[in-house]
Chains A and B, each alone.
Chain A
Amino acid sequence: MSLNLIRDRQLVAHDYPLLADDAALPASGKLTVTLARWRQDGEALRAPGLEVGVRIPNTVDVADIWAEISDRPMINLEFPGFADGRAYSQARVLRDRYGYRGEIRASGGAVVRDQLHGMARCGINAFELRPDQDPQVCLGAFEDFGLAYQPAADHVTPVLRLRGRR
């Protein structure tokens, strides 16, 4: 399946494909594994030549697993549907509390044009667009608002502080 990927506001080729839990490990390359697989095969997955991102369930407390995933180049968060915004908080904890500097990627059914702006504000910088999404329309989402009332992981200066500078 070809997924459209936006990274740092650019449309790029999809990478870090998800490896099924029962699939054999490739010898090299970028891939994503589930947290369960990561826990099971952590040693093998750290082999030279492999670049492994981890997809974490949106039900886990990031504090409980941070030590296990802190050195990963990519952490994949789940956004299964419009009604389930748990991973927004996971993203902020990763960026704000732990200062994670790798890629935070959003995947799932809610990765659509109208959620991207909020995701970006929470520190997510890569988006696996749902297949029905027009990537060009999605790129416009980042321009919806030029200002923000509250501080978040994107480090936009909130309006309250802008007022103080005038």
Chain B
Amino acid sequence: MYRYDSFDQQLVDDRVAQFRGQTQRFLAGQLPEDEFRSLRLRNGLYIQRFAPMLRVSIPYGLISSKQMRMLGHIARKYDKNYGHFTTRQNIQYNWPKLEQVPDILADLASVQMHAIQTSGNCIRNITTDHLAGAAADELVDPRPYCEITRQWATFHPEFNWLPRKFKIAFCATETDRAATRLHDIGVFIVRNAQGELGYAIYAGGGLGRTPIVAPKIRDFLPELDLLSYLEAILRVYNRLGRRDNMYKARIKILVKETGPAKFTELVEAEWAKIRDGELKLTPADFDRIRQHFDEHPYAADAAADASFDAAVAADSAFAAFVKRNVKAHRVPGYKAVFVSLKAPGVAPGDITAEQMELVAQLADDYSFSEIRSTHDQNLVLAEVRQQDVYAVWKALKAHNLATPNIGLLTDLICCPGLDFCSLANAGSIGVSDEITDAFESMDDLYDIGEMKIKMSGCMNGCGHHTVGHIGILGVDKKGEEWYQVTLGGSAENDASLGDRTGPSFDRAHIVQAVERIIEVYLEQRSSEDETFLKTYRRIGMAPFKARLYADEAVAA
């Protein structure tokens, strides 16, 4: 866990005071509404369909148990007893009162948290692998790199008024678990042929209306040049990014319209002028940041435990949980345990105050007091001794947090949809409930295997529908909710964008459409080992299309 020093605390406290002043001036009529809007967005505060919505930052998805308890406290005191984890690894509250937001921010600051730059056209939360530090396939722990980038991006005076929002992700593993190439900048931590640590840089990826997988703009950037190179990219974007049309304002459009080669030239030219300036990092800078992170005292004899395997053999429900929700840890005898926020009947990512407190207690008891949030809207206790997994499972199960569906069909990503969001065309939570219901039997799910359904209530794509194995996008047609379906998207190393099946489906037929897609897959797959994505890539769209549009009446 990154621990603040007095500098970090001072900056966050100053920010709370600044926003309190802005809120007071707004409420006193001294600050125009549209200007206050820009300022509150940079403090995480949206005005949504029913009420303000506050998005709290969780840098690279890492939360302490103390912070989780505070999130529960805020849910009780200022909201309706729950919060909603987002695809940005952050948490949102849907019912805070505008005049109370400065108090909420002060409560957050008391546990080294904030809502800075969680919205607005500025550099947003830095994200990475939710198993960072625990992953077996990791080159180095990416979190110190994320933190050094977070600090550079926080209150960056030059890049607070960009053409559009800007998202940066880091990947240091063989398997990309952070959808890194779907970010404005994707940083892959790598070693070059000489064994030196550095980065491969991708720019111009993103979801939304024009989904693009980012092209590589630099094969290898030396480790100490990270911030100057990011600054060069941002400066080029701030100068040349389009401001005439918000739908063409993301850096992906600039990279596409300029051409990746020419864009790279512009960045390199800018970088050449600043690379040896004040942003040049030193090994000591990295050492100091690393010292803010705790070293966990792993037990040397953890792998000697035999109870874990015995429990898996003896208890089939536990075995099902382990198969789906428990992942390997780099330290022998330790496991990463996924807490599912996708129980049937619950909006994906939603968690009650009581559940937050339970997870905090489990983290204290079994996982070095740390919790991670994932961009799939689940939580992870990433540092659990294998001897303790059974007890963790029992406790999670008693609180409806142990649905063994990580990576499966019911583990779908979903935005808040029309139910909460003023941007949305269509309800997405109700549909996700129905899809979950339709496949309630866990046996069915195991037959289906790895499948990611991602759904968004509008073109803004908060639910990442374009990279779902099955993607569903809500659209409004003359006041009715319709759903476009895409197949074959992926946010992992083999990143790809889904293909449209054809005409969209109405509310009454969308769940049936998903069922038909699954049927075709189950009939066509070469073996149980062939995932949906592999099958789709092998057989293509035609068989799915034939089944989906067999009876004309369902779609339009």
Contact = CB atoms under 8 A, between A and B. Distances in A.
Interface stretch (B6-14, B86-94, B488-496): B6-14
Interface string B30-67: 11001100110000000000000000000000000000
Interface in A78-129: 82-86, 88-89, 92, 96-97, 110, 112, 114, 117-119, 121-122
Given A96-B277, A114-B22, A149-B154, A88 B161 contact: yes
Contact of A149 (B17, B155, B161): B155
A84 B10 contact: no
A96 to B, nearest CB: 7
Sort chain B's interface into a size bin: 35 or more
A61 B239 contact: yes
Contact of A82 (B18, B35, B148, B239): B35
A86 B243 CA distance: 10
Given A145-B14, A163-B288, A88 B155 contact: no
Contact of A84 (B15, B159, B161): B161
A148 interface: yes
B284 interface: yes
B156 A150 contact: yes
A150 B238 contact: no
Interface string B146-169: 001001101111111110000000
A146 B5 contact: no
B433 to A, nearest CB: 38
A61 B270 CA distance: 12
A164 B278 contact: no
B243 A83 contact: yes
A151 interface: yes
Nearest to B5: A163
A20 interface: no
A70 to B, nearest CB: 16
A60 to B, nearest CB: 9
**Does more than half of chain B's interface fall in helix, strand or loop, or is it mixed?**
helix
B216 interface: no
Contacts of A163: 5, 7, 288
Contacts of B30: 134
A23 interface: no
Query: Would you call the interface of chain A mostly helix, strand, loop, or mixed?
Result: loop
B552 to A, nearest CB: 46
Nearest to B237: A89
Interface residues on A, range: 35 or more
Contacts of A150: 151-152, 155-157, 227, 279
A84 B157 CA distance: 13
A89 B235 contact: yes
A11 interface: no
A99 B72 CA distance: 51
Nearest to A61: B239
A89 B18 CA distance: 24
B296 interface: no
A88 B121 CA distance: 14
A86 B238 contact: yes
Nearest to B162: A85
Residue in A83, A97, A110 whose Cβ sees the most chain B Cβ within 10 Å: A83
Interface in A123-166: 134, 144-152, 158-160, 162-164
A110 B35 CA distance: 9
B273 to A, nearest CB: 6
Nearest to B249: A83
A97 B155 CA distance: 21
B278 A148 contact: no
28 contacts: A61-B239, A82-B35, A86-B238, A86-B243, A92-B235, A96-B274, A96-B277, A97-B274, A114-B35, A117-B157, A118-B155, A118-B158, A118-B160, A121-B158, A145-B155, A146-B14, A147-B11, A147-B14, A149-B151, A149-B152, A150-B157, A159-B7, A159-B8, A159-B11, A159-B151, A160-B148, A162-B7, A163-B7
Given A82-B35, A117-B157, A150-B279, 20 more contacts: A85-B158, A85-B159, A85-B160, A85-B162, A86-B238, A88-B157, A88-B161, A88-B238, A118-B155, A118-B158, A122-B157, A134-B30, A144-B18, A145-B18, A148-B155, A149-B156, A151-B277, A152-B157, A152-B158, A158-B278
